[in-house]
Every structure is written in structure tokens, then in C-alpha cells.
Structure 1
Amino acid sequence: MRGIWGLALSVSALAIACPASAQTLREAMIEAYNENPQLTGERANLRAIDENVAIARSEGLPNIGVQGNYTEFVVQRQDAFLVPDRAVTANLNSSLPIFAGGRIKNSVRAAKTRVAAGRANLRNIEADVFTQVVAAFNDVLRDEAIVQLNQQNVRALETNFRASSDRFEVGDVTRTDVAQSEARLALARGELRRAEAQLITSRETYLQVVGSPPGVLTPPPPLPNLPTEPQVAVATALNNNPALEAAERAREAAGLDVRSARAERLPTLGLVGQGNYFNYLGSIDTSLIGTPIPQSGQAAQAGLSFTVPLYQGGRPAAQIRQAQAREGVAIEQVTATERQVIARVRSAYATWQSSLRLIEAAEAAVAANTLSLEGVRAENSVGNRTIIEILNAEQELLDAQVRLVTARRDAYVAGFALLAAMGRAEAQDLGLDGGPLYDPVANYETIDKAWNDWDSRPAARPVATRTVDAPAQTPAVAPPTDPQLQRPVDTDPANPSGDVKTPR
């Protein structure tokens, strides 16, 4: 897919002449991949999940601690001849579990399984972010085209209104014709304002998702490897969809939690050791008994600690039942996710296919309405058509052109959503080359065998870019470049040369 995607971008770049500052869909995806806060936040969340492995494994490692005390015996008993006035004591305690009924082993396995689920969730977020980028990119292209069409329509209706006013002055049309032209022009100006507001919204959404304002956007490249049948798409999704993989991993981890809970009823065995030190700081008076008493000393013990739980008030059984219930939730979540993936794939496939048919229909409608408009103008010039029929033909052509650009947007977004649902819309699949890709395994390998209590990372810092300094977006657009969406502005059948008349 990487090669096909790159070839598609190269062909698109050669086929479409764009300014040097134009931004491609690939560039927008790279920027979002590196700086989208939803994605960078999920990476940080996965690093937190990685730490659960080290936390679970620490239960099976030695536990060593030192406790110290300094004591002043302020009031002594009258018969306490050998009690010191002060003392310093220190105790060294250590323990190492040897057998815990499988609780530690299953806890580590469950933590590792949840790491795999977290990686799948990261892939799913990545695909969702890319889908948002594709939608935002195509929304801007669509709304720019719609603004251009409405601007063109306003210019056409302004010319038509001026022509109608001129013809009214010479008695060629009635006041009603002029009023109809004026009313349609007012409505067109209102639609232009609405289209401009929608364009601003789409550009602000693009800024939110990508992290920088959209410049001149190039048409996106063709989508690669789209399926020919919905069954093929569903089969691919069931094998590759990251959300489904995450749910399956969560189910496995829940099963390991049940095993870990069962271990709470089993015996435990461990090594224990203890060392003691005392120092009375010369505060014992030995003159009363005439025998030297040691003022300091040490001792050490080592052995096995064996625990057999007999009754714990029903707590282990409750924990097992709770873990089993949560496993049931995880099992049902797999089914729910599977249903969601299947529905998403089939819906995206249907939307994609219907949008392709709509593109064909809209292209035919644009061609037919263009011909119809020309015919109505010509017939109006000989008195067979009225001004309102010209205005209606203008509106029908505009509607067909808007449907065409909307269908093109819908087809592309649905096609990419289909790839995402199939598990084929991640950075590796798309071959993004804006620097090294994020490797979730690298962080895991650094902490997998970590045992140092004093190990830490640098303080967390922002990764995603802020957009507070970005300027507010405007509805400014360049002239349209698609010939199929262009038409002559002049609508005066009495002025075939196209010269705009100035009203007297």
C-alpha cells in the first residue's frame, strides 16, 4: 500500500499544477501525526500502561527496608537496674516470595496483555485522527468550491439584474421580471454568506485537527486498495481492525485476572531475613552489679515464611466472582466491538458506493443543466422563455454543481473511513515519511526489566502545538480551477458578446 500511495501522490502532483506553497494531504497527515494532542496524549497513556508490567513484576522481587529508632527513657522503674537511659536501634528486614499460587505470574501476564491492548488502542486512535484529517481536508476543499460557485452565481445574477433593469427601461420586460431578478440576487447573496460561514468553520476544524491553518490545498490522491465487495472488506476488518484487537486483548487480560484472584486462597511461601543493631550510648550503669554489660551489639535471622489461609471472611470468593463478572463484560465487549466494526465497514462501503453513483449523476446533471441554461437563454432572446425560467435554470445548475462537489467529498471521506475500519489507515500503511514513526515498543523495552527505585523520567512537557496564536480563519478563496464547475457570467441574451452593460 505504501508504494501505491506514494505513486498516487506523484501522479496527482504531476497532473495538477499547484503553487509552491500548496499543502498536500500527506503533509497534513504528517503534521497531525507528530502534533495532534489526541494522538500524543494516547502515546503518553500507553507509556503509563507499560509501567503496569514493572509494577506487577515488583511483587515477585525482593523487598528490603531499614527501620531506625532513637529512644530516651525519661522515667525509669525503680527496679529497672539494667535499662539504659537512651538507645539507638536499627532493623533490616527483607523478604522474597517463592510461591504465591500463581498470583504474581498471572498479574504480570495480564499487565503484558493490557500493554498489547493499549498498542491496539493507539493504532485505533491513529486511524481515527487520520480519518479526521481526511474529512477536514476534504471539507475545506468542498466548502471552498461551494463558496466559489456561490460567488459565481452572485456575479451572474448581478449581471442578469442589470440586464433586466436595462431591458425594463426600453420596455422589453416588465417590472415583475426586474423584481424576480432582484429577489433571486438577494437570496444568492444570503447563500454566499452562509457558504462563507461554513468555510470558516471547516477551516477552523482543520486548524484544530492538523495544528496549522489550511493554505492552498491540493486535490487528494486516489485511495489505494479499496475492496470490490463488502464481504471482502468485512473479512479484512475482522483480521486487522485495531479496536477489535484491543477488545480481544482486554478479554484475555480479564481471564488472567480470574486466575490471579483464585491464587488468594492458596498457600504462600517466601524467604525472610532480619538484621538488628542496638547501641545504648554508654547509658547503662554496671557499677551496681560489677559486671560489664555490652553497650552495643547486632543480631541476624533468616528463614522461611509459610502462610496457609484458612478463612478470610469470604473475601477471596467475592474477588473471584468479581473478576469473573468483569471477564463476562470483556467477552461481551468483544462481540459489541465486532458488531460495531462490521456495521462501520458496511456503512462506509455503502456510502462510498452511493457517493460514486452520485458523482456520476451529478456530473450528468451539471452537463445537462449547463446545456439547459444555454437553451433557455437562447429561447428567451426570441421571446419563448421568461426571466424567471432563466433564473430557475441558473439555480438548478448551481444546485447540481454543489451536489457534485459534495458527492466528491463524501466519496473520498467514506473511502478512507472504509480503509480505517479495515485496519489499513495507519502511519505504516500510508507510508508517511515525515521523520521516524513513533515506536511504542521502544518505551516498553526500557522499563520491562526495570528494578531501580530511583529511576525516573524528565518532567512531562507539551508535545502538541497550540493554536492560540493562529489567526482567525477567513472565507477568502481563489478562483475555481475545475472547468466543469465554471460557466459564463453574462446572462443577457441580447448581449452575446459578454459586455456588461451599465444601467442608466
Structure 2
Amino acid sequence: MAAGARFATGLRMAACVGALAFAGQAASAQAETLREALAAVYNSNPTLEGARASQRASDEDVNVQRALGLPSATATATHIEFLRKSANSFTAPSRNLGINAQLQVPIYSGGAVRNGIAAARERVEAGRADLRATESAIFAQTVAAYMDVLRAEALAQLADNQVDVLRVTFESTSDRFEIGDLTRTDVAQAQSRFALAEGDLRTAISNLVAARETYIELVGRAPVDLQAPPPLPGLPQTAGEAVATALENNPDLIAAKERADAAGYDYEVAGSGRLPTVGLFANYDYSDFFGTLGGPIASDFAQSETTANAGVRVTIPLFQGGLPAARQRQAGARESAALEQVIATERRVIQQTRAAYASWRASNAVIASSLAAVEAAELSLEGVRAGNSIGNRTIIEVLNAEQELLSARAQLVTARRNAYVAGFSLLAAMGRAEARDLNLETGGPLYDPLANYERVDGRIWDWDRDPEPAPNSTRTVDITAGEDLIGPVLEPSE
């Protein structure tokens, strides 16, 4: 009876490990795929939505810099009540309404406006690359969270099955002790392993809850019947191929180069402070004294007047205490820092790419060795159990063989998770882990940062504004806590 129960339990564990291979299964009505999870992240993750909003803010820097070179017009109205007049003034008015209108047209600013606009455009390009990097980083976190849930579920199932196996072993050992076939030491060994397995199951359940909560944080909904992930597209054949692609497409490296170019324009802007500026101006003034100008002889004075003038203003800096030179040296130092940052980013990209490639290859090798280890451990356990049934093997040997099989299966599960996560991290380092690269179906067109730039570019109306800001991401406060999602199969039997 005990041997039959052990055999049935072994079949359950074998079936469990077959499911752990992440082979394709028929999806249930509520099943979720990795592509669906990534699409949900793309549409509702607050970090990604915030990065898009920050990029829209950066788009406006071009308009801010351009405005410095455009005409400006102001009007000022002033009403004055003269409460105390000079004793020697016989014509001072009692009140005055003054209206002044000014128009200024910058003509030449030493290149400050032109270079400021160029720097802003470079930073917009850098921001777009940063947005790409944020998207791929969030996707990489989501892939890791998705695979962590699958791994945690598999390990929890393994732990639950191990509890069943060790319970049967403990019960059969107790039965054999009752008939004098085994010693109390054998019973104690079986009981000890059974108790440890129950503790391991509780730990596995805790890890599963943590994995599910991380998934909820990123995706915005609870994981339900996660399906096998699809094959990763475009993985390289060699580390050299991966590095070459990363040096061309990695968004962090692109952003660093764009910022270095922007710093070069900042250097020119700082140097323009020592050059002349030229501008046109026009002024219009209107004054109305409300009949109070001139006192007793007010009829001899005009009670309102209008004046206007226009001209050209040339400003030539002669001495500014070294301010322009200090600003340009400062800008030059920042440009040097930006150029060094390009090299640092390049080094980091190469390191990350090579490390991800090595991890991916190593995990694939571990999968192969783990498969062999599982097969060997299954044969070993079968032989040890057979030997124990005829008295040639001890209970501790059976327990050790069962533990070795569990460890091999857990290593296989972890290796499959690590291989997939490392592969996706490799794609991210290569700049190929974004929605456009994965052909995600997001329920609409992909977000295009260029569309907003073109929408706002050149808009010069001061009263132009967008709708009131509102969050686009989803909250998770109403999602059921992870403890309530654990099915009865994961609960240890009493």
C-alpha cells in the first residue's frame, strides 16, 4: 500500500516537472501570456507614463529657447494720485494715467539663441533615447517578474509534492517500525525530513506571494494562469555580434552622445556673452492728467499727450568682471564631463552585453546538465527504493535520493527562468527589447514621442495650453492580496 502510494506520488511529481518545462499548454479563459502582460505594462505602468510626460516637458525646451529670439510686446498702465505736491510747482497735476507699450525685436545675440535651440534639440533627442531605455528596463523587470511567478509556482508545487512524498515515507517507515522491520532511528530520520519539507513549503509559498506582488506592482493586475513565454527574437550567435549591435542601438549610449553634443552647444552659448547684441525697439506712451495739469491755468495745457519712438539698440559688452570667460570655462568643463560620460556609458554597455550573453549561455548549459541530473536522480531514487524494499538500502539513503531529485528539479526550474531573463536582458542591452521590436499588440498605435514634439513645435501663442493633467496608469489598491490567491494545492496537508 505504501509502495503504491509512493509510486502515485512519484507520477504526480513527474507530471509537475513536465509542466515546469514551460511547454505550451491550452490557455484557459483567464490565462495570461507574457505578451499580454507587456502590453498591459506599456499601456498603464506609472513609471513609463511618467517618463513619457517628462519627455513632453523636454520638448518644450526648444520653444523656450526659440522664444528668446522672437519679438516681444508689453503694455503697462499706471494710475498715479499725487498726494503731496511741491510748493514751487504751479503746474503739477493731481493725478495721471500713463499707458506704455513696447515692442522689442532681437536681431543678433552673438549666437546664444541659435546655439541654445540646437542644445535643446539635442537634449530632446537624448530624452527620446532615455524613454527607450526606460521602456526596455520596465519590460526587462516585467519579464523577470513574470518568470519569477512561474518559478515560484513551480517550486511551491515541488515543495508541496515533496511534503506528500515524505509524508508517505514517514508513514510507511512508522508502519515498518511497528512490525519490527525498522528502527526508531529510521523513523526519526523520516520524521525530520518530513518536518523540514513542511517548512520549505511555507517558505516557497511566501516567495510565491512576494513574486506575485512584484508582478502586480509592474503589470497592474494579479497574475492568473501565466502561460509559457514565447521564444525570444533576434538573439545573437556570438558575444561580438551582441556588442556590435549594442554599440549601435543601445539607448543609454545614444542618450550620452546626444548630451555631449548638447554640451558643445552650451559652450558656444556661454561664449556669446562677450559679443555685441543688436535689437530693434519701438515705444508708445499715452498720458492723461484728467484736467489737473496746470492748476489755475489748466486751460493753457493739454491734459493728455501721446508720444512714440523707434530705434536700433546695440549693446557692446566692455567689461563684466570675467563673467563670460568663467561661464565658458564652466561650460567647457561640463562638455569634457559629458564626453567622458560617453566613454563610461560605452564601457558599461559592453560589460552589460557581454555579461548578459555569458549568463544566457551559461543558463542554457545549466538547463542541459539539470535535465541529465533529473533523469539520473529519478533512476537513482527508483533503484534506492527498490533496494530498500528488499532490505539492501537504508531509509536515510532513500531520503537523500529524494532530496537529490528535488534539488535537481529545482535547479532545472531556476535555470529555465535564468536563461529566459538573461536572454531578454541581452536584447535590452542590444537596444532590441522595446514594443516595436517585440511587435506588441497594445490595442492601438505605439506611443510616438516625435508626434508630441511636432505638435508643440513652433507654437508661440502665449495663451495656448493643454488639457488639465490626469494620471493614465492604473492603481492596484483594489487587487486582492497575494495570500488570498494561493490555491489549496499549495497548502500543506494537516
Q: Same fold (TM over 0.5)?
A: yes
Aligned to 1:364, which of 356, 359, 372? 372
Aligned to 1:264, which of 268, 273, 297? 273
Aligned to 1:230: 239
Matched, 1:39 2:48: yes
Q: Name the SS of the counterpart of 1:91 in structure 2.
A: strand
Q: Name the SS of the counterpart of 1:276 in structure 2.
A: strand
> After superposition, where does 1:1-400 map in structure 2 within 5 Å?
15-285=24-294, 288=297, 292-400=300-408
Contact preservation (8 Å) 1:90, 1:277 = yes
Q: Which letter does structure 2 place at the counterpart of 1:224?
A: P
Within 2, Cα distance between the matches of 1:188 and 1:249? 56
Matched, 1:422 2:468: no
The alpha carbon displacement at 1:476 in A equals 2.3
Gap regions ≥5 residues in structure 1: 1-11, 481-504
Contact preservation (8 Å) 1:369, 1:397 = yes
Within 2, Cα distance between the matches of 1:378 and 1:188? 23
Contact preservation (8 Å) 1:148, 1:477 = no
Within 1, Cα distance between the matches of 2:380 and 2:372? 12
Aligned to 1:498: none
Within 1, Cα distance between the matches of 2:370 and 2:396? 23
Q: Name the SS of the counterpart of 2:172 in structure 1.
A: helix
Q: Which letter does structure 1 place at the counterpart of 2:351?
A: A
The alpha carbon displacement at 1:20 in A equals 1.8
Within 1, Cα distance between the matches of 2:367 and 2:53? 42
Q: Name the SS of the counterpart of 2:300 in structure 1.
A: coil
Q: Which letter does structure 2 place at the counterpart of 1:345?
A: T
Within 2, Cα distance between the matches of 1:252 and 1:478? 59
Residues 195 and 286 of structure 1: CA distance in aligned 2, closer, same or farther (over 3 Å): closer
Q: Which letter does structure 1 place at the counterpart of 2:486?
A: A
Aligned-residue Cα RMSD (Å) equals 1.6
Contact preservation (8 Å) 1:100, 1:268 = yes
Within 2, Cα distance between the matches of 1:28 and 1:263? 51
The alpha carbon displacement at 1:347 in A equals 0.4
Within 2, Cα distance between the matches of 1:468 and 1:320? 51
Q: Which letter does structure 2 place at the counterpart of 1:180?
A: Q
Contact preservation (8 Å) 2:92, 2:295 = no
Aligned to 1:476, which of 464, 468, 486? 486
The alpha carbon displacement at 1:463 in A equals 1.4
The alpha carbon displacement at 1:469 in A equals 1.2
Q: Which letter does structure 1 place at the counterpart of 2:383?
A: G
Contact preservation (8 Å) 2:24, 2:228 = no
Contact preservation (8 Å) 1:286, 1:292 = no
Contact preservation (8 Å) 1:87, 1:279 = yes
Aligned to 1:403: 411
Gap regions ≥5 residues in structure 2: 1-20
Q: Name the SS of the counterpart of 1:263 in structure 2.
A: helix
Greater per-residue helix proportion: 2
Within 1, Cα distance between the matches of 2:251 and 2:270? 29
Within 2, Cα distance between the matches of 1:312 and 1:127? 48
Aligned to 1:502: none
The alpha carbon displacement at 1:71 in A equals 1.4
TM-score (norm 2): 0.92
Matched, 1:413 2:421: yes
Residues 458 and 449 of structure 1: CA distance in aligned 2, closer, same or farther (over 3 Å): same
How many residue pairs match? The answer is: 468
Aligned to 2:13: none
Contact preservation (8 Å) 2:160, 2:489 = no
Q: Which letter does structure 2 place at the counterpart of 1:398?
A: L
Residues 13 and 179 of structure 1: CA distance in aligned 2, closer, same or farther (over 3 Å): closer
Contact preservation (8 Å) 2:22, 2:229 = no
Q: Name the SS of the counterpart of 2:431 in structure 1.
A: coil
Within 1, Cα distance between the matches of 2:243 and 2:271? 38
Deviations 1:42-82 (A, max 9, x none): 01110111111111000001111111111122222333222
Residues 317 and 456 of structure 1: CA distance in aligned 2, closer, same or farther (over 3 Å): same
Residues 478 and 51 of structure 1: CA distance in aligned 2, closer, same or farther (over 3 Å): farther
The alpha carbon displacement at 1:287 in A equals 5.2
Q: Name the SS of the counterpart of 1:388 in structure 2.
A: helix
Q: Name the SS of the counterpart of 1:470 in structure 2.
A: coil
Deviations 1:310-332 (A, max 9, x none): 10011101100110111011111
Residues 138 and 478 of structure 1: CA distance in aligned 2, closer, same or farther (over 3 Å): farther
Q: Which letter does structure 2 place at the counterpart of 1:133?
A: T
Residues 172 and 281 of structure 1: CA distance in aligned 2, closer, same or farther (over 3 Å): same
Within 2, Cα distance between the matches of 1:288 and 1:359? 107
The alpha carbon displacement at 1:166 in A equals 0.8
Residues 13 and 394 of structure 1: CA distance in aligned 2, closer, same or farther (over 3 Å): closer
Contact preservation (8 Å) 1:150, 1:188 = yes
Contact preservation (8 Å) 1:62, 1:95 = yes
Within 1, Cα distance between the matches of 2:147 and 2:57? 35
Q: Name the SS of the counterpart of 2:440 in structure 1.
A: coil
Residues 363 and 175 of structure 1: CA distance in aligned 2, closer, same or farther (over 3 Å): same
Q: Which letter does structure 1 place at the counterpart of 2:259?
A: A
Q: Name the SS of the counterpart of 2:410 in structure 1.
A: helix
Q: Which letter does structure 2 place at the counterpart of 1:400?
A: A
Contact preservation (8 Å) 2:212, 2:222 = yes
